[in-house]
Amino acid sequence: MNILIKNVNILTMTEENKTIIGDIAIVNKIIKHIGDVPETFKADKIINGDNKLAMPGLVNSHTHIAMSLFRNYADDLPFWEWLTEKIWPVENKLKPEHTYWGSMLSIAEMIKSGITCFADMYFFMDETAKAINQTGIRASICRGLAGNKNEGLEKIDINKKLYMDYHKKGDGRITVMFGPHAPYTCDPYYLQKTIEVAKELNTGIHIHLSESEKEIEDSIKAYGKSPIQHVNDLGLFDCHTLAAHCVHLSDRDIEIIRDKNVHVANNPGSNLKLGNGFARIDKLLKEGVNIALGTDGSSSNNNLNMFEEINLAALINKGVNKDPISVSAYTSLKMATINGAKALMLEKEIGTLEEGKKADLILVDLNKPHFYPKFNLISAMAYSAQASDVDTVIVDGKILMENTEFKTLDIEKIQYNASRCAEELVK
């Protein structure tokens, strides 16, 4: 289908602190023209861009979407009580159907809030792939892996099968990485086995690293090294690595991350909520590290709202560094778009609005009191916007939401079934 978005403010994310006004022409899955569109362009559908802003769809670079079933189930608890007494017992009861409805609920929430692509790690990922196929969103998925020499090796095969079945499938909207959960849940043998298969298939690794202080202490006790140094010595960073959290980093860790081109998924909301603290984002950015942004699962957040994470990323680094120019509005928006695309190995396809790239974009409705007066639309997106300001969502050239109405999913049915699944799990 040919879509023409007329007379819209455009934040391409290709040029620092710049917006333009013009038209956008989409031909099938691809952005054909941006800014000036030839008068001869024939559109099947015309969208009026008046008082709207078009920007790249947001990339949620670290999440566990099916965990929306546990949203607001266990809050304001000490971390270990939360994890071992609340989350693990319900996760143990999880069946494929639960992952499906949890995934559908989260995809609905993500589309509604302008997220067009996400990186997911969880169980029963065929169900998540099914939800991605049905709804039209884009994702990099992996099977959460945990184990050692004697246990859990079959999960690596499950992740491999996931790769075989889904990588570049769903019209090319699905890609597959490997998902070793963390160095404290995967022993060195297990990590090396995973690295081997990821290298063999030439894909990336999505892993949690250096999230809590306890993790650092335990790693030093067990291996005499930080988690970053430990997995680096195992060769993990020879694969493209999407490393979630990276909250507690030494200067040496940061050097390794920089030198090995590790992509960091910063999750400010989750790190705060679980009491883990503040990642050294300003320092990482100054070293040239690619920092993406994620929501984490909605049991530790408790939503999948990238506008909140953008706002947090821009605000908390100023507070932590006592520096009002730390992490600018534009930088936080980069983290949520093109940096996320890089972290997911998708920067050639998405992350900016450019001719030839996939048409993954959102329209933000600027006709809201909190967007007046309109001095600076980049500041507005980082500091004033709410997720609910997203009006229209296009992925792969297909409209998934228009005028805040879903086009590819039945939200009442999803909310009903997700609630039913959640009740089943906790009873």
Distance between CA 343 and CA 241 in Å, rounded?
Answer: 8
- Residue from 117, 343, 350, 414 binding a copy of itself (CB under 8 A): 414
- Residue from 343, 363, 380, 401 binding a copy of itself (CB under 8 A): 380
- Residue from 15, 77, 259, 261 binding a copy of itself (CB under 8 A): 77
115-122 and 138-145 beta bridge pairing:
parallel
Q: Is residue 423 near a copy of itself by the rule CB under 8 A?
A: yes
Q: With CA atoms as reference, report the closest residue to 128 among 165, 156, 154.
A: 165
DSSP 289: -
- Residue from 308, 309, 360, 391 binding a copy of itself (CB under 8 A): 308
Please tell me the count of residues contacting a copy of itself according to CB under 8 A: 76
Q: Is residue 79 near a copy of itself by the rule CB under 8 A?
A: yes
Q: How many C-beta atoms surround the C-beta of residue 19 within 10 A? A: 18
State the first-to-last Cα distance of the chain, in angstroms, to the nearest integer: 47
- Residue closer to a copy of itself, measured from CB, 38 or 373: 373
Q: Is residue 71 near a copy of itself by the rule CB under 8 A?
A: yes
Q: Is residue 86 near a copy of itself by the rule CB under 8 A?
A: no
* CB of 424 vs a copy of itself, minimal distance in Å: 10
* CB of 386 vs a copy of itself, minimal distance in Å: 5
- Residue closer to a copy of itself, measured from CB, 4 or 94: 94
- Residue closer to a copy of itself, measured from CB, 140 or 302: 302
* CB of 123 vs a copy of itself, minimal distance in Å: 19
Q: Which of residues 315-334 bind a copy of itself (CB under 8 A)?
A: 315-316, 318-319, 321-326, 328-329
* CB of 264 vs a copy of itself, minimal distance in Å: 18
Distance between CA 58 and CA 294 in Å, rounded?
Answer: 10
Distance between CA 308 and CA 58 in Å, rounded?
Answer: 12
Residues paired with residue 35 on neighbouring β-strands, in sequence order: 23
Helix (H, G, I), strand (E, B) or coil at 410: coil
- Residue closer to a copy of itself, measured from CB, 85 or 323: 323
**x/- letters, 386..405, toward a copy of itself (CB under 8 A):** xxxx----------------
Distance between CA 155 and CA 171 in Å, rounded?
Answer: 26
**x/- letters, 169..208, toward a copy of itself (CB under 8 A):** ----------------------------------------
Show the DSSP H helices in 37-120 as ranges.
Answer: 79-80, 88-91, 96-112
* DSSP state string for 321-347: TT-TTSS-HHHHHHHTTHHHHHHTT-T
Strand ranges inside 114-221, DSSP E: 115-122, 138-145, 174-176, 179-180, 205-209
Distance between CA 70 and CA 60 in Å, rounded?
Answer: 19
**x/- letters, 358..377, toward a copy of itself (CB under 8 A):** ---------xxxx-xxxxxx
**x/- letters, 258..277, toward a copy of itself (CB under 8 A):** -----------x-xxxxxxx
Q: Which of residues 109-148 bind a copy of itself (CB under 8 A)?
A: 109, 112-113
Q: Interacting stretch for a copy of itself, rule CB under 8 A, among 91-99, 153-161, 340-348, 408-416? A: 408-416
DSSP 381: I
Determine which helix (DSSP H) or strand (DSSP E) holds 56, and give its type and residue range.
strand 52-56
- Residue closer to a copy of itself, measured from CB, 139 or 274: 274
Largest interatomic CA distance in the chain: 68
Structure tokens at 184: 């404290």
* CB of 35 vs a copy of itself, minimal distance in Å: 23
Helix (H, G, I), strand (E, B) or coil at 259: helix
Q: With CA atoms as reference, report the closest residue to 178 among 149, 209, 201.
A: 201
- Residue from 34, 53, 105, 292 binding a copy of itself (CB under 8 A): 105
Structure tokens at 24: 């956008």
Q: Is residue 69 near a copy of itself by the rule CB under 8 A?
A: yes
Q: Is residue 67 near a copy of itself by the rule CB under 8 A?
A: no
